Amino acid sequence: MSRDEVIVRFEDVSFEYGHKYPIITGVSFPVRRGAKITLMGQNGAGKSTLFGLIMAAHKPDSGQIHIGHGLTIATARQVIPRDQMDLTVREFFEKCFTKKVYDIDPRIAKVLEVVHLTAPLDKIIKTFSGGQQARLLLASALIQDPDLLLLDEPTNNLDKAGIEHLTQFLIDYKKTCIVISHDADFLNAFSTGVLYLDVFKRTIEQYVGNYFDVVKDITARIERENKKNAQLAKEIQENKDKANFFAQKGGKMRNVAKKMRDKTESLESEMMDVRQEDKTIRQFVVPSQPEIVGDILYITSYITIKNHKPVTHKSDIKLKRNTHLLIKGPNGIGKTTLLETIARGTKGTKIMDDIIVGYYRQDFSTLNFEDTVRESLMEVMDKKVEENMRGTAARFLITSEMIGTKIGRLSEGQKGLVAFARLVLQKPGLLILDEPTNHINFRHIPVIAEALNKYDGAMILVSHVPEFVKQIRIDQVLDLEK
């Protein structure tokens, strides 16, 4: 089979979630065998929906999607579905196949080795850490040995070792893959092309080259188009001024004015439809609960996981106002479990009375997916003022259209922005953040880091992104690996 063979082709494809949620309009592009493609686009642009169209989970409203005869496709989603959290590892992988696989155990063992994860086959999925679940999601796609691999934010929750392992796997990968990610260095390591989903025009632009070269080309093109448009705009205004001047003279001068207007129309037709850049959330502050004095949190003991068994450790950690604690350690050691224990105030941890806890969970389980965005934001407000809620929402690119949308219909990135908006409205005394950069557009991350750096309540942070952590003041570190 030729590596130039087209295995997926979109021809003039349009798709929308009802009239209010158009995703793509008249899109055409090919995917060739052996390509390693990055799918770019702003949060909520519809990148995951495009995967759904390729997988035939959605049907286009118009146009055609051609899939190569006999082509097998598998996807590693961003998160494990909630209805699969109570499955064992074996049951989770069995659901990857429509027919019973009799040699499933050795196949699971082989694919877990590929993703660098050791786990008993009877272990329950929900007992794994976020990073381990990310590895399971990747393994669930690889075990199917597909011709086309679709990866949706595969580095979310992965520690440094996990990202390095996945990067090398994709560099060596012989088949076709399309990857959604906000990790530029990760993407640049293996990408041979980019599909850019423009949320404003609802079109897809296709580029050839590595990730950094493509981004550089896009930026240069936008600068050229903006420069040309600025020159045209100046010439157009000059012609309009002249046309108005000659029109007022009357007589034969009116014919001159008409020629000037015709020239203006011709120049306006040359104005280029410049692609709009991704918008960035506006700067924000997370207000802390007022009038807090003394200790806010005690951690006298905690549990880590070693060889799938719990180990208890003594500690003497106290958090006061304006104290930031970083909890670090590799995937699976128990960071998320410790955060949940702290939030509940159990097993060697205690939050002082009347402290408002703002908890950003990596799986967004603090959000009710059946609530609208408006209901979710109003829920955490002490004084429920509509104008204040909408003003905060706008800072996080939550539009008036999104306000009435159910949380469950949002993209993972949009859920993250709603979660941050809730923290601002909640005004917590204790802020607990579990991998807050997962799913978030890289343009927003410096703004979020600045807000957390300035937060003057007590804060606990877990993050595998060192560039993000470096931008935030850290007063204490709890390294679970030590």
pLDDT tens by residue, 203-254: 898 988 888 888 788 777 777 777 887 887 888 888 888 878 877 777 777 7
Structure-token pair, residue 38: 């990055």
Taking a C-beta distance cutoff of 8 angstroms, is the pair 60, 13 a contact? yes
Q: Average pLDDT, whole number, for the chain?
A: 88
Select, from the ranges 40-44, 223-227, 332-336, the one with the highest average predicted confidence (pLDDT): 332-336
Confidence of residue 413 (pLDDT cuts 50, 70, 90): confident
DSSP state, 272? -
Taking a C-beta distance cutoff of 8 angstroms, is the pair 299, 274 a contact? no
pLDDT attached to residue 19: 65
pLDDT attached to residue 289: 94
Cα–Cα dist 82/339, whole Å: 20
Q: Calculate what percentage of the chain has a pLDDT beyond 90.
A: 51
Average pLDDT over residues 64-78: 90
Q: Strand, coil or helix: what is 475?
A: coil
pLDDT attached to residue 341: 93
- Evaluate if residue 90 carries a pLDDT over 90: yes
Domain 6-215, CATH homologous superfamily name and number: P-loop containing nucleotide triphosphate hydrolases (3.40.50.300)
Q: Which of 259-263, 375-379, 461-465 has the lowest mean pLDDT?
A: 259-263
Pairing of strands 357-360, 430-434: parallel
Confidence of residue 18 (pLDDT cuts 50, 70, 90): low
Average pLDDT over residues 424-449: 91
Confidence of residue 3 (pLDDT cuts 50, 70, 90): low
Q: Strand, coil or helix: what is 476?
A: strand
Least Cα distance to 290 among 386, 359, 354 occurs for: 354
pLDDT attached to residue 192: 92
pLDDT tens by residue, 286-311: 999 998 888 999 999 999 988 778 89
Cα–Cα dist 215/202, whole Å: 19
- Evaluate if residue 117 carries a pLDDT over 90: no
- Evaluate if residue 270 carries a pLDDT over 80: no
Cα–Cα dist 460/474, whole Å: 9
Average pLDDT over residues 84-91: 93
- Evaluate if residue 276 carries a pLDDT over 80: no
Domains 6-215 and 295-479 fall in the same CATH topology: yes
pLDDT attached to residue 38: 93
- Evaluate if residue 42 carries a pLDDT over 90: no
Residue 198 pairs in a beta bridge with: 203
Farthest CA pair distance, the chain: 96
pTM over 0.85: no
Cα–Cα dist 416/434, whole Å: 11
Structure-token pair, residue 340: 């949940």
- Evaluate if residue 118 carries a pLDDT over 90: no
Distances (CA, A) of 391 to 374, 388, 399, 423: 12, 5, 10, 14
- Evaluate if residue 350 carries a pLDDT over 70: yes
Cα–Cα dist 243/264, whole Å: 9
- Evaluate if residue 358 carries a pLDDT over 60: yes
pLDDT attached to residue 157: 74
Select, from the ranges 74-78, 158-162, 352-356, 440-444, the one with the highest average predicted confidence (pLDDT): 352-356
Amino acid identity, position 290:
P
Confidence of residue 44 (pLDDT cuts 50, 70, 90): confident
Amino acid identity, position 11:
E
- Evaluate if residue 264 carries a pLDDT over 80: no
Cα–Cα dist 314/380, whole Å: 34
Q: Which of 22-36, 260-274, 330-344, 452-466 has the lowest mean pLDDT?
A: 260-274
Distances (CA, A) of 183 to 79, 156, 178, 413: 17, 9, 14, 14
pLDDT attached to residue 271: 61
Taking a C-beta distance cutoff of 8 angstroms, is the pair 155, 38 a contact? no
CATH of domain 295-479: 3.40.50.300
Sign of CA dihedral 49, 51, 55, 56: positive
Q: Strand, coil or helix: what is 455?
A: coil
Domain extents for the chain? 6-215, 295-479
In sequence order, which residues have a C-beta less than 8 Å from that of residue 328 and are 6 or more positions away? 335, 462, 477, 478, 479, 480, 481
- Evaluate if residue 325 carries a pLDDT over 90: yes
Taking a C-beta distance cutoff of 8 angstroms, is the pair 421, 395 a contact? yes
- Evaluate if residue 275 carries a pLDDT over 60: no
- Evaluate if residue 349 carries a pLDDT over 80: yes
Q: Strand, coil or helix: what is 327?
A: strand
DSSP H/E element including 434: strand 430-434
Confidence of residue 401 (pLDDT cuts 50, 70, 90): confident
Residue 225 — φ and ψ, nearest 5°? -65, -40
- Evaluate if residue 178 carries a pLDDT over 90: yes
pLDDT attached to residue 273: 56
Q: How many residues does the chain have?
A: 482
Rg (CA), the chain: 26
pLDDT attached to residue 278: 61
First to last CA, the chain: 51
